[in-house]
């Protein structure tokens, strides 16, 4: 016997309710930039490759617990050993951090190859870097990458925002976000960086942003152990937090608390409506059953 119309409605709304209750997230795995060493592993035995896979497993496992972790795979006295770390954006949940970090090994393989002795990939929500023991590590303030918006803004709001983020990062948390006038700003340091070095790094990143992006409507500047991001909304910032939305001449990338909050609100509204209609459908089924 076929299902009655109320039962079909109930089944449809139940499915809609389940889908709507799943949180919506910005794509934290969006690729930003890469850094790849030219040299390849030199050991024919493949121990370096095994150690790299072991390092990946350790870092991925930790990413469901904390937004920063460093580790070494292998005997730390041997050049076949690999050391590395990941850092997730400060506003990410453990599940989003894990999602982001899990995608980095495949991204590194795609961008740098499977046997590169040192590599780094920066995604929207996290980065992961590794190197063989003995590989020269860059200074904390070494410039790596910039991304500047194509639009231009005028006024002192942007400069004020950048000055405030330089002050705000001194909170000792290594992560700072805020809104000043129409500018959404963010700064973050690598987890192992001390407070004084973090402030120094962010100040250097801010100076790079001033030089590299000037009056651009948006910008991101990445140094070895910190980065600064900002976005100017001429009509008023929609909210604080997150990575902001970085506009370029061709694409729009980035996560951000504002977009996260908007998506969360939409999910709640849709979920609430689905729940309301689910209750109505349930009453219709009961009425149909009593009539029989």
- Render pLDDT for 226-285 as a digit per residue (tens, 0 to 9): 999 998 876 665 544 333 333 322 222 233 333 333 333 333 333 444 444 445 544 554
Predicted confidence (pLDDT) at residue 29 exceeds the cutoff of 90:
yes
pLDDT score at 5: 46
d(CA 64, CA 137): 27
pLDDT score at 156: 61
CB atoms inside a 10 Å sphere around CB 67: 26
Half-sphere exposure of 82 (CA within 13 A, CB side): 29
Average pLDDT, the chain: 77
pLDDT tens string 158-213: 788 888 888 889 888 899 998 887 888 999 999 999 999 999 999 999 999 988 88
Question: What are residue 109's phi and psi, to 5 degrees?
Answer: -60, -40
Confidence of residue 33 (pLDDT cuts 50, 70, 90): very high
pLDDT score at 179: 87
Reference 186, options 124, 134, 133; nearest CA is: 124
252 burial via Cβ count (<10 Å: 0-12, 13-18, 19+): exposed
What's the rounded mean pLDDT across residues 10-32? 51
pLDDT score at 270: 38
Half-sphere exposure of 41 (CA within 13 A, CB side): 23
pLDDT tens string 48-64: 999 999 999 999 999 99
pLDDT tens string 142-166: 999 999 988 876 666 778 888 888 8
d(CA 224, CA 131): 14
pLDDT score at 234: 67
pLDDT tens string 104-127: 999 999 999 999 999 999 999 999
CA distances (Å), 223 to each of 30, 50, 137, in order?
19, 29, 13
pLDDT score at 204: 96
Reference 102, options 128, 74, 81; nearest CA is: 128
């Amino acid at each position: 016997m076929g299902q009655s119309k109320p039962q079909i409605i109930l089944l449809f709304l139940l499915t809609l309710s389940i889908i709507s209750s799943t949180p919506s997230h910005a794509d934290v795995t969006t690729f930003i930039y890469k850094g790849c060493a030219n040299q390849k592993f030199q050991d024919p035995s493949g121990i370096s490759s095994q150690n790299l896979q072991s390092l990946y497993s350790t870092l991925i496992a930790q990413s469901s617990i904390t937004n920063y972790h460093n580790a070494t795979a292998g005997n730390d006295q041997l050049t076949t050993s690999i050391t590395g770390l990941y850092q997730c954006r400060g506003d990410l949940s453990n599940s989003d951090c894990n999602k982001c970090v899990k995608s980095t090994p495949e991204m590194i393989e795609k961008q740098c190859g499977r046997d590169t002795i040192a590599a780094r990939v920066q995604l929207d929500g996290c980065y992961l870097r590794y190197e063989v023991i003995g590989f020269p590590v860059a200074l904390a303030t070494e410039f790596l990458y910039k991304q500047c918006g194509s639009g231009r803004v005028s006024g002192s709001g942007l400069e004020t925002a950048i000055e405030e983020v330089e002050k705000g990062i001194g909170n000792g948390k290594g992560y700072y976000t805020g809104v000043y006038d129409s500018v959404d700003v963010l700064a973050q340091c690598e987890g192992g960086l001390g407070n004084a070095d973090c402030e120094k790094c962010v100040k250097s990143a801010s100076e790079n942003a001033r030089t590299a992006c000037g009056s651009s409507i948006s910008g991101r500047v990445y140094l070895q152990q910190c980065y600064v991001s900002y976005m100017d909304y001429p009509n008023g910032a929609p909210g604080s937090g997150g990575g902001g939305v970085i506009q370029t001449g061709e694409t729009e990338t980035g996560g951000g608390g504002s977009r996260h909050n908007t998506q969360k609100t939409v999910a709640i509204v849709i979920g609430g409506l689905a729940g309301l209609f689910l209750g109505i459908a349930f009453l219709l089924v009961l009425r149909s059953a009593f009539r029989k």
